[in-house]
C-alpha cells in the first residue's frame, strides 16, 4: 500500500493522529477485499440457514466493513471501513453496469476480448463508449466479482487463514476498538473539515471517493459516523436476500437491547421460506438465461449453415466456370492447330 496523501501525523497539533490515511489500492488489496466480503456473505448465509439468529443479528449490528478493515490491517493494508465500503461499492457498480448493458454471458466474453464490442451492432455507440470506459478502469476485477456474485471460488482462491481471522473479528467480544476509534474521530474532526480536498488530477480511481472521508468516516460529525456504524449493509451486492429491513424492525421492537432475539417458530419458517423462494427465483432466472443463450446459439448456427451453403454453391459455380474456360482454351488451341496444318499443306 502506498499513501497518496501527506498523512495526518503532525505531532505539533498535540493530538493523537488517526490511523487512516489516503490509500492507493493495489490488485492484491482489491482481491483481498473481495475475498473477505465473500467470506462474510458465506458466513451470513451459513448462520441464517443454520438458524443461529443471535449471531446473525450480531453480524448485522457489528458491521462487515469494520471486520474487513481489521483483517486487511492484519495483512499490512491499513484501510478504513469507509474506504473498504467505497471501494467495494465502486467495483460492484461497474460489475452491475457491464451486465446491464451487455448481459452476464456477453460481459465475460467482452472482458476477455474487448474487440468483440466493435462487432455488436445491437449496442449503441454511447453504450459502447461507456463499456470501454469501464473496461479501461485500472481495478475492474470482473472475474473476482463474478465469482463473488455466483458464490463460487473459481477466481477467488480459498484463504483459510483469512476466513479464520474474519470469524474471530465477527465474534461478539471483538469490539474493543470502538472507543479508540471514536476518540480519534473526535480529535480529528476539525482537521478533517480543513483537509477535505485533495489533489486528484491523475484521474485514476486509486484515490476515488475519498476526499473528506479519507480517514475512514464520511465526514463532518460524530452523528454521521454513528449512523454509518449502525447501518452497515452486510449484504450489499450479495445474492443473499435483504435481511436489513427485518433486523432493523426487530431491533426497534427490542428497545435497543442487542441481547433480545425474536421468537423462533413462525418467524423462522417465514424467513426460511423467503430464502427458498429467493433461491428458486435465482435458479429460474438462470435457467431462462441459459435457454435464451441456447436459442441465440441455434440462430447463429442456422445463419452460419445458410452462409456456408451459399458459399458452397458459389464455389461450385466457380469450379464449373473454370472447367468451361479450360475446355474453351482447348477448343481454341485445337482450331489454331488445324489452321497451322492447313497452311502447311498449301
Determine the Cα–Cα distance for residues 25 and 5; give it in Å rounded to an integer. Answer: 13
Determine the Cα–Cα distance for residues 138 and 320; give it in Å rounded to an integer. Answer: 57
What's the DSSP call for residue 148? H
Q: What is the pLDDT of residues 235-255, one digit of tens each?
A: 434 444 343 433 343 444 444
Chain centroid to Cα 277, Å, comes to 24
pLDDT of residue 237: 40
pLDDT of residue 193: 40
pLDDT of residue 215: 35
pLDDT of residue 179: 42
b/e per residue, 126-158, with b = 16+ CB within 10 A?
A: eebeebeebbeeebbbbebbbbbbeeeeebbee
- Are 143 and 135 a contacting pair, CB within 8 Å? no
Q: Residue 24 is inside which H or E element, if any?
A: strand 23-24
Q: Residue 60 is inside which H or E element, if any?
A: helix 53-62
Residues of the chain with pLDDT under 70: 1-21, 44-62, 172-265, 267
pLDDT of residue 45: 64
Determine the Cα–Cα distance for residues 208 and 89; give it in Å rounded to an integer. Answer: 11
Reported pTM: 0.44
What's the DSSP call for residue 201? T
In this structure, is the dihedral angle defined by the CA atoms of residues 28, 32, 34 and 35, taken in order, positive or negative? positive
Q: What are phi and psi of 24, to 5 degrees?
A: -105, 110
What is the four-CA torsion angle of 247, 253, 258, 261, rounded to 10 degrees? Answer: -70
Amino acid at each position: 500500500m502506498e499513501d497518496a496523501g501527506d498523512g495526518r501525523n503532525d505531532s505539533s497539533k498535540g493530538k493523537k493522529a488517526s490511523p487512516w490515511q489516503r490509500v492507493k489500492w493495489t490488485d492484491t488489496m482489491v482481491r483481498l477485499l473481495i475475498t473477505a466480503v465473500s467470506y462474510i456473505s458465506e458466513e451470513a448465509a451459513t448462520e441464517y440457514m443454520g438458524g443461529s439468529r443471535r449471531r446473525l443479528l450480531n453480524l448485522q449490528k457489528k458491521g462487515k466493513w469494520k471486520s474487513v478493515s481489521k483483517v486487511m490491517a492484519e495483512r499490512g493494508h491499513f484501510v478504513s471501513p469507509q474506504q473498504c465500503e467505497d471501494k467495494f461499492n465502486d467495483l460492484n457498480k461497474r460489475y452491475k453496469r457491464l451486465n446491464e448493458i451487455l448481459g452476464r454471458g456477453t460481459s465475460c466474453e467482452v472482458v476477455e476480448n474487448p474487440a468483440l464490442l466493435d462487432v455488436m451492432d445491437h449496442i449503441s455507440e454511447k453504450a459502447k463508449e461507456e463499456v470501454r470506459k469501464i473496461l479501461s478502469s485500472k481495478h475492474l476485477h470482473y472475474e473476482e466479482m463474478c465469482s463473488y456474485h455466483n458464490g463460487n471460488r473459481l477466481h477467488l482462491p480459498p484463504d483459510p487463514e483469512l476466513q479464520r481471522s474474519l470469524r474471530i473479528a465477527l465474534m461478539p467480544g471483538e469490539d474493543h476498538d470502538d472507543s479508540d476509534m471514536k476518540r480519534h474521530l473526535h480529535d480529528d474532526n476539525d482537521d478533517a473539515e480543513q483537509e477535505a480536498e485533495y489533489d486528484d488530477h491523475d484521474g485514476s480511481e486509486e484515490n476515488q471517493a475519498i476526499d473528506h472521508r479519507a480517514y475512514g468516516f464520511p465526514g463532518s460529525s460524530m452523528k454521521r459516523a454513528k449512523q454509518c456504524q449502525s447501518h452497515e449493509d452486510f449484504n450489499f451486492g450479495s445474492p443473499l436476500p435483504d435481511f436489513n429491513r427485518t433486523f432493523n424492525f426487530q431491533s426497534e421492537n427490542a428497545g435497543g437491547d442487542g441481547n433480545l432475539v425474536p421468537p423462533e417458530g413462525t418467524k423462522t419458517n417465514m424467513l426460511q421460506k423467503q430464502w427458498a423462494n429467493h433461491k428458486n427465483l435465482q435458479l429460474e432466472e438462470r435457467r431462462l438465461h441459459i435457454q435464451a443463450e441456447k436459442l441465440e446459439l441455434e440462430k447463429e448456427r442456422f445463419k452460419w449453415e445458410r452462409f456456408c451453403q451459399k458459399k458452397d454453391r458459389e464455389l461450385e459455380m466457380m469450379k464449373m466456370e473454370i472447367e468451361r474456360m479450360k475446355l474453351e482454351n482447348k477448343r481454341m488451341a485445337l482450331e489454331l492447330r488445324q489452321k497451322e496444318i492447313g497452311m502447311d499443306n498449301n
